[in-house]
Structure 1
C-alpha cells in the first residue's frame, strides 16, 4: 500500500520507517529541511535504539522516501498525521497549530476514498472537528493513537500491545477500519489486541493511559516522602505492595519522577480540556500528581545540600544523566537536567555526563558544564548524583569511582544502584525515600 506520513519527528520518523519495513511504499513529509536531509541520507536525527538499523534496512529496500513537498502525498491512499502537540506557552492546553496545519495542507491533495489517520495526541473533540475538512475531500478520518515508549519505539510500532481505531459511524467507518487493517496486517496477524471505537474514546485512550501511569509513579513518590519522615524504605514498601496482583510492581520505582515530551504535557492538557468541558473536578487529582512529581526534584536538591553539610556553593557536583530516561537523548522536561540546573543556580560547580544527551542538554541548559568522558566527569567530585538510570551507571564500579572523587558521596536519584555494594566500597549513600 502507498502511505504518506506527515511529520517526521520522533513519532513520524519511526512510524514511516516501520511501515516501510512492513512492505508498504512510504513517503514522509516534513517542513524541517535538516531533518529531511538527515533521514534521506540514512542518519537518524535523534537517538533511539534500533532505529539506525531500521533506517538502513528500509533505505536499501527503496520503500521509504522523504521530502519537504506536501504534494508528494498525492499518490498515497493512507495518510498518517504524526506532528507534535506541545503545551501552549500561555497555559496548560495543547497547542494544536501543527495538527491543524498538517490536515489543512493534506486536504488539497486528497482523493476520494483516501483515509487520513491521526496519530498525534490531541484533546478530546479534536477529531470530530477535523473530520469535516477531510470528508469534504471525499476522504475519511480515523484516530489511531500512538503508545510509543522512548527507548522501545521500534518494537512498540512493529509489535504494539494494542491497536486502537477511532472511526465515524456507518459504512465510512467500517471501510476505513478495513483499510487500516490492511496497513497493520502483520502486527494484527500476531494476535495484537484491537479496539475499534468512536473518535472521543480513541482520543481519550492515550491521555487516560498516561494519566494513570503518571498517577502510579507519583503515588509511590508520595509514599517516598512519608518513608523519609517515618524512617521507612520505599523500595521494600514497593516490593511488598507490588505482590498484590491488583497493583503490580511495574512503575513503582520511587525517585525523581517522570519527565519527557509526553506525560507532563499530556496530563496538563487533559486537565485543561476537562475544565473546558465543565468536568475539571473529575481530574483535579492530576494537579496533585503533577505537584508531587515536581517536589521530588526540589527534594533532590535539598538532599544534596544535606550531604554537603548544608552548602552547595563552589562544591563540585557531578550529575550522571541529562536525558529524562535511559536509552534516549530527549531532555524535554528532564528531571535530571532540571536538578542540575537548580544546583547550578544555587552556586554549585556542576558537571553533567550523559552517554547520548549532552548536545541536546547543552542547547537546553547552556550555563552548565558538560563532560563526555565519565572518568573526567567524576574526578574531583564532592558529590555524585545518579539522575538517569542508564545501565552504564548501574554497572559503575564504586571502588574505581572512589579513587577519582574528592569525597565519596553518592545520591541515587533513581534508586538504581545496589546500596550495599556502594556502602561496602566506602561511599555515603543517600536516596529518595530510603534511610
Structure 2
C-alpha cells in the first residue's frame, strides 16, 4: 500500500501523534488523522524518530564477505533503526578509487535495506604514503564526501595537511583514526592499572590525544573540516572542546561501547572486549557521556566491526579488534544517556540522525518528522527490556560484547522512504 498511518507515536519522545506516510514522503503529522485504505501501524506510545544515520560502519565487502556483506550489513542496520550508513574504506581491495566506491554504492542500492554511502580512503592502499584519488571518488556516481584511512592513522602530518587542503575544494571532510602508531606498538589494551596487573601491552591515551591536537591545528591552518573517529579519552574531549572554542571546524564521534564498557572487562581475557581504540577507564566513560550531552562530541557512531568466529574465538593476543554494533547501538544509548537523564529522545535524534547526516551530507536523511519530508523513520519500544541474543542478529557476525546483557529498548519498525524494511521486529 502506498499510504501508511502510524497512530499514537511519541514523535521525538513528545506527545502522542499520528503520522501519515504517502509514498516516499510524510504527508501529515497531527492527532486524529485518518486515511482511507492506509495500512495502520498502532504505535501505542512507542517513540518515533527520524531514521538513524551511522557515519562509521564496516561492511567488509569487497574482500571479507566471510564476516559481512553489504546485504547482511544493511539488514543489520535496518534492524537497528538505521536508514543510512557510511561504509569505511578498509576493504579488499581498498576503496581508494572511483571503481571500488562505485561498486560499494551499487551494492547498497541493490540491498534495499538502507542507503549506503561509501567512505573513500585518504591514501592509496591505506599505506599513508600517497593521496588516493579523492577528486575522482567525489566526482564518481558515489559522490564521496567523507575520506578516512580508518583502521590506520594518517600519521604523516604533510599527507594529512594535503588531504585537508584537497577536500576543502568540494566541502569534504577527513575522518581521522587518531592513533600515533609509534606509541601503540604491541599495545593490547588501555594503558593503566588493569594493563599493568594483567601484563598486557598498554595503549596510552596520549597516542590518541596527540594526533587530535595536531589535526585540529592543521584544520585551523588550512581552513578545512576534520572529523575525529571513535574518540575515547577524557583528554581527547578537552582538546576537541578547546578547538571548538577557537572556532576550528572539527566534529567528533563516540561509539556506544565507549559510553558503557570499561577496561575492567578485559580481566576476563575474553577477546570480545578487544577493540580499537581500547575500552578505557570509568573516568573516561563519564567524560564521554558528559561531552556527548553538552555537544562537545557531536554524534554517536557504531564503528560496527564484524569478524568471523575464528578471528575472535582465540587467545587475546591473536584476536582481531572490533565489535558489531548496529543492532544494539540505540539500546546502549538509551541506557547510558536517556535513562541517566543526560539526553532526551529529541537530543538522541540530533546525535544519531540530524548531525551525522549533516556531517556526511546524506541527502534526504536526518530530516525533521514533518510534512513534505522523506519518510525515513524508526519506531522504538522504549519500555522493552531484554537480554541480547546474537543468535537473532541480522549481521553475519556475532562478536558482540553485550551477549546475555539486559538492555532497554527495541526497534520494532523502520521505514526507508516510506517502504517498510523492518516490521514488528522482523526484516521485511
**Fold match, TM over 0.5?**
no
Point out which structure has higher relative CO (alpha carbons under 8 A, 6+ apart): 2
Structure with the higher fraction of residues in helix conformation:
1
Q: Whose strand proportion is higher, 1 or 2?
A: 2
Query: Of the two, which has the highest radius of gyration?
Result: 1
Category of TM-score, reference length = shorter chain: under 0.3
Normalising by structure 1, what TM-score? 0.23
